[in-house]
Chains A and B, each alone.
Chain A
């Protein structure tokens, strides 16, 4: 019995259309009571492979064995019946239902029993593995981490012995990640098999027992985590040696480009999402914005871009240093800002829903920023087409052609199209939100390089990120948002991950744990006085 793997893929091949081979003769095992990390770049076929295991796709060739028996998984229901559960990146929960209602959803009453039985069973699961679920809490009141916990409990409730976690840590703070890893270890101890898909190699090393690597749809091999390192895994994944250090050039000359003061915003329900935010952004530096998701990052960038209504008293001043003009940006629309001669580049979080037009090709998307030029009622298609070709060549966008709808491109290529277009604006302020979310190592490093290029050109770069390792390696300063407020600005060269993680979750006035040295270090660092003042102010406000 010991030798029968929980899951065995044998010779699995999956094609999309005639050209794309997503998985090619993949053969691999996952043992019982094992955490296996599945690694691979974008488009390497990780998700496709897991989707076949969870019944969303059907393999063209090959057999999946579960506990040694040939399994025919034709629907997610079949997968559940076989004990396979997948926790997707995008949670599949009903917002207006409670935790218990979501768990009961879609289950036969005969199998699951009534609310009382479910609640008891859920409690038992929580106690066993160390989850924390409030059964009566509605999903819309939950944090991302709570929702994820609920998804996992739901899957366990349905009797899953094999869990697939698709990038579970992408949306979690370091502390939440630790919590998740703790329950994963408990589940493993209970004999459950866990497959975790992630791009974060540190986490792979921290949690997994073995690592399976896919490259371009092919299975490359499995290594014991104990024998692997970040560098060795990356090399296997990419197929060649990769330089893993993020560059952070030190620039002497910095000039103020943007001054945000007392910026407040409300969402459509009237809830304050940004509360009296003040900071300056300088040309020649990358200002990182850290915070758990939904702390106001989106509104902050959109307010600067002219997409978000601001409250009275808010001010965003743009400094045009060559002409010595100061422009107040609040209250202006996107096109008005553009008319004032302010070039803001903005890479929004929702790439296809905001930054790009999914159904259009690269040319059509390049036009989004330029189509208004000229007085003719007709659009100029040649300039954007040339730009599309240029972006395609320079950023090595993989696409069948510049007319192919960008929706059909892979995530990394979509992002390259978007970033390429924004950089072509030659912006004086460049904002990027979660610019590497879901991107593989190579593309991520391309994006970091492009941001650094902008920094060197004297652009003020504002980078909203979720991976603290990256923020700490890339950014000159990091502004930490907590609950819509500025909870401090730290120096990216000296701050630690734990420090920033704590600032993300605890406002300065209710947690004395926030280290005060950060402000000290700030004033020591080679930043201008004005900058230090901002921090001091924020600190004082926070403490009062």
Chain B
């Protein structure tokens, strides 16, 4: 009776293991004793690893990437009938074909990295801030309002006044949007996830409203302070064209900005966030709060203060990201200016285990895929749509995240176990 009931639960396990592994090719399965055992023992066991050498984890990650590309290739062939290598070439070209594309990729990386840096201290503190999207939008709105109200359309103040004001309002708006949920969390222990999410919707609606009011209802917005007969470019965040290699046009005073300044600012922020998190007292405090609020209180850390301060820093960085988008590249704003990066940044930060330098790599991965996907859909002119590219991106990211399982766990196949058992018996 006992063996019967054991059987049922094991059957389930065996079915699942056999489905994955393919069955019936093990050596020695013909023997009577091990034949009985085969019926009872599952085919493999999952065992947690205690540590893994660096090379092995890199190998697993590389393997995951290759496996992802193979799976994508199969899907491309099956669904579209296109040559997968041609597809991958297009994807690669999306970021590397021309200097313009390359700079474009770096610029996108800068924005996404900046937002990822922004969410990192909060997440390290286990404050689930999913409101980066709104904080970035508000930062951008702050920049735009300063540029509009103080610039060509408003008071016509000189750039020396407009630019600092643009920077300050952007940071203030971003910080405000982040600190409100932090205060509520610290004082009344509200749920920060819902709160920050709601703040996103408010930010989006505010931006829409202002966009409509200021554009007089038309959707085609002109770059602020960049059009007309004698544009002042007040509040534009850029380096002179002569020293910025990312200008690809031939105009000396171009109507678009270069990307170098954005990239330099984010590079500096990356180092600063790294140092802040690892070497400052405040960085230490936020790690302790993230680990356990009780330990923090025990250590004499004011949890409320740390929550508010850390979210303030998050908000400032989001404000800077908004500034880089509006004053640095777009010079306009709409409700999609943050491009959903406020959410993508969470994945980037998490994948990099909150290490700012690893985040450069994960940012690269995400942006490279994104650029490649959009290149793919334009090159194949309709055969592969944006949606299809997104499927490919999703598959690749799934594999990369999924391979963490194999880094943390080990699969032990029974065949090998049995051999060692038999060796021990004889």
Contacts and interface: CB of A to CB of B under 8 A. Distances in A.
Interface of A: 11, 16-20, 58, 60-61, 66-67, 69, 71-72, 74-75, 77-78, 81-83, 305, 307, 333-335, 338, 346, 348, 350, 352-360, 364, 367-369, 371-372, 377-379, 381
Interface in B1-51: 2-3, 5-6, 9-10, 13, 40-42, 45, 48-51
B295 interface: yes
Identify which of A58, A69, A307 gathers the most chain B CB atoms within 10 Å of its CB. Answer: A58
Nearest to A357: B291
A420 to B, nearest CB: 16
Interface in B301-355: 301-302
Contacts of B420: 61
Contacts of B10: 72, 74, 78
Contacts of A305: 298
Nearest to B51: A17
Contacts of B294: 350, 353-354
Identify which of A69, A305, A348, A353 gathers the most chain B CB atoms within 10 Å of its CB. Answer: A353
Contact of A335 (B13, B41, B300, B417): B300
Given A61-B424, A338-B300, A378-B280, A355 B295 contact: yes
28 contacts: A16-B48, A17-B49, A58-B45, A60-B417, A61-B420, A69-B3, A74-B9, A74-B10, A78-B9, A81-B5, A82-B2, A83-B2, A307-B298, A334-B297, A335-B300, A348-B298, A353-B295, A354-B295, A355-B298, A357-B287, A358-B291, A368-B288, A368-B295, A369-B299, A371-B284, A371-B285, A379-B283, A379-B284
Contacts of A355: 295, 298
Contacts of A20: 50
Contacts of B291: 357-360
Given A364-B287, A379-B279, A379-B280, 15 more contacts: A19-B50, A69-B3, A72-B41, A74-B42, A333-B300, A335-B300, A354-B294, A354-B295, A355-B298, A357-B287, A359-B287, A364-B284, A368-B298, A371-B281, A378-B280
Contacts of A353: 292, 294-295
Nearest to A337: B300
A377 B281 contact: yes
Given A58-B45, A82-B6, A346 B288 contact: no
B2 A81 contact: yes
Nearest to A20: B50
A429 to B, nearest CB: 15
Contacts of B42: 74
Contacts of A72: 6, 10, 40-41
B232 interface: no
Contacts of B282: 377
A334 B421 CA distance: 57
A378 B292 contact: no
A356 B295 contact: yes
B355 to A, nearest CB: 14
A379 B286 CA distance: 13
Nearest to A60: B417
B292 A334 contact: no
Given A307-B298, A354-B294, A354-B298, A81 B281 contact: no
Identify which of A338, A353, A378 gathers the most chain B CB atoms within 10 Å of its CB. Answer: A378
A334 B48 contact: no
Interface in B405-426: 412, 417, 420-421, 424
Identify which of A81, A335, A350 gathers the most chain B CB atoms within 10 Å of its CB. Answer: A81
Contacts of A61: 417, 420-421, 424
Contacts of B300: 333-335, 338, 372
A77 B302 CA distance: 45
A142 to B, nearest CB: 25
Per CB-CB distance, the 10 closest pairs between chain A and chain B, nearest first, are A17-B50, A335-B300, A334-B300, A81-B5, A354-B294, A368-B299, A72-B40, A357-B291, A354-B298, A378-B279
Contacts of B50: 16-20
Contacts of A338: 300
Interface in B154-200: none
Identify which of B41, B288, B298 gathers the most chain A CB atoms within 10 Å of its CB. Answer: B298
A40 B420 CA distance: 28
Nearest to A73: B6
Identify which of B51, B295, B301, B302 gathers the most chain A CB atoms within 10 Å of its CB. Answer: B295
Interface in B380-426: 412, 417, 420-421, 424
B276 to A, nearest CB: 9
Nearest to B50: A17
Contact of A357 (B283, B292, B302): B292
Contacts of B417: 60-61
Contact of A69 (B2, B298, B301, B302): B2
A358 B294 CA distance: 12
A345 B50 CA distance: 33
A377 B48 CA distance: 39
B43 to A, nearest CB: 11
Contacts of A348: 298
Nearest to B49: A17
A371 B281 CA distance: 7
Contact of B13 (A74, A359, A360, A371): A74
A67 B3 CA distance: 12
Contacts of B288: 357, 368
Nearest to A13: B424
A357 B287 CA distance: 9
A353 B45 CA distance: 31
Given A75-B9, A82-B2, A360-B287, A334 B299 contact: yes
A81 B7 CA distance: 10
Contact of B9 (A77, A378, A381): A77
Contacts of A67: 2
Contacts of B51: 17
Contacts of A69: 2-3
B413 to A, nearest CB: 13
A81 B297 contact: no
Nearest to B36: A70
Identify which of B3, B49, B292 gathers the most chain A CB atoms within 10 Å of its CB. Answer: B292
Interface string B243-282: 0000000000000000000000000000000000001111
A20 to B, nearest CB: 7
Nearest to B420: A61
Interface in B214-238: none
A400 to B, nearest CB: 9
Contacts of B284: 364, 367, 371, 379
A357 B420 CA distance: 40
B280 A377 contact: yes
A19 B299 CA distance: 34
Contacts of A356: 295
Contacts of A367: 284
A369 B296 CA distance: 10
A346 B295 CA distance: 12
Given A20-B50, A78-B9, A372 B292 contact: no
B298 to A, nearest CB: 5
A197 to B, nearest CB: 22
Nearest to B298: A354
A353 B424 CA distance: 43
Contacts of A377: 280-282
Contacts of A369: 299
B414 to A, nearest CB: 10
A365 to B, nearest CB: 9
Contacts of B424: 11, 61
A58 B47 CA distance: 9
A338 B301 CA distance: 12
Contacts of B48: 16
B62 to A, nearest CB: 22
